Amino acid sequence: MMMIYKKIITLFFLLTTALFANDVSAYLIYKDMKTVKEAKEALAKNGFEVIGEYNPIKDKNNLIVFTHPDLKKMASKENRAFSAVLKLLVLEGKGSKATNPEYFLKAMLQSDYDAKVGANITSLLGKAFGKSKGTKHLLDDDNLEHYHFMFGMPYYEDLVKVASGDKAKLIKSLKANAGKDLIFELELGNGTYLAGVKFAGNRGESFYTSKIDPKAKNVASLPYMVAIENGEAKIMHAKFYLALSYPLLEMVTFMKIGSTPGEIEDFFRNLFK
């Protein structure tokens, strides 16, 4: 009888948790018009550090990569480096779009996510850019910690090793091979090195993002990142990160870029040769 009672309580807890779960937008849209220069100044004024920028698509829109001491602190744990940065796509004359801290941080930090820190970072972005509106790219906040696209698809923890060896040598190879496409680099407190690299070329980011989203609305998730930690260079599995970045993605669309996950892995492996 006691066992049955416990099962009923557990089922009730799961059902009520699902009932009261909140939907979280992947991106926040800010309507206040700012130039790239003004956006960078607003970030700096509110405690953020801009560490890189580039133009991921062929127009006037620039993508800014930035961090914050609290982000770096949370990311300075094993396999958490990818949570150290956020991205802001400045849509000149149309406002801007940022990766939502409370979405991406929870997905990447999982049990290490501090909701108070996430909310504070979101508040600071509001001070910098004004009132925001979440996009329709939603996931249930209860699902973010253990997110995967569907059965049999990778989770966050299924990181892909693309190289191994001495840290200094790995960084040297990365810089030499990436060249001008190295968008940002960041050293974290635990000795982990994080970098973002533009995946150029005919099969690169401009190709697969246009296949997923012809209007290139969500390139705010770029550039793709690699972390060097404990003698290994790792990236997030593309089948995880692309699905996380495009939560409205359907299997039919995913099939259009069927070779992209492997091409991303090959791209990063080649950066360390």
The token duo for 239 is 């089948």
188-202 average pLDDT score: 95
CA distance 93 to 60: 10
> Left if phi > 0, otherwise alpha if psi is -120 to 50, otherwise beta: which for 33?
beta
pLDDT in tens, 85-126: 999 999 877 889 999 999 999 999 999 999 999 999 999 999
pTM greater than the 0.75 cutoff: yes
Domain annotation covers residue 19: no
Q: Which domain holds residue 87?
A: 25-139+153-270
- Report, as an integer, the average pLDDT of 180-184: 98
pLDDT at 217: 62
Cα dihedral 160→163→167→170 (10° resolution): -130
Q: Residues 2-42: pLDDT tens digits?
A: 444 444 444 444 444 444 458 999 999 999 888 999 999 99
Domain membership of residue 10 (yes or no) is no
217 domain residue, yes or no? yes
Whether 71 is covered by a domain: the verdict is yes
